[in-house]
Amino acid sequence: MPVVLVSLIRRAVWLVGGLGALGLLLSACAPSSGPTPVGFTPTAPPPVAEATVAGPAPTVVVPLTPTAAIDWTEFESRTPDGLYERGRPDAPILIRDYSDFL
């Protein structure tokens, strides 16, 4: 009788151990199902280096009136190199005037 009892206990231990191993195996094979992040914050883009230019910053006057009303001869601005320009900033024709005042 004791022999039979010991045998039953051993089988029960093996059964419990086998079920535990099977559970571990199944959990390892199952797809990840962790919690979905809430309040996801996008990663900030990497900083972009800005080109540096010599000379003073351009001085551009922002027109307050519609284009048709602007007299572009009064519109004075500077290039990044500090050259003075006169006229509509995006005019299709650029005339470089190389001159001496004398």
What's 65's DSSP letter?
S
User: Residue 4 is encoded by which pair of tokens?
Assistant: 């039979």
Region near another protein per CB under 8 A, out of 15-23, 24-32, 43-51, 86-94: 86-94
Q: Which is nearer to another protein, 22 or 91 (CB)?
A: 91
Q: Does 101 bind another protein (CB under 8 A)?
A: yes
Contact 79, 58 (CB under 8 A): yes
Using CB under 8 A as the criterion, what x/- string covers residues 15-54 for binding another protein? Answer: ----------------------------------------
CA distances from 79 to 63, 83, 96 (A): 18, 5, 12
CA–CA separation, 76 vs 58, rounded Å? 10
Name which of residues 54 to 83 contact another protein (CB under 8 A): 59, 67, 70-73, 76, 78-79, 82-83
Distance CA 78, CA 23 (A): 75
Binding site for another protein (CB under 8 A): 59, 67, 70-73, 76, 78-79, 82-89, 91-102
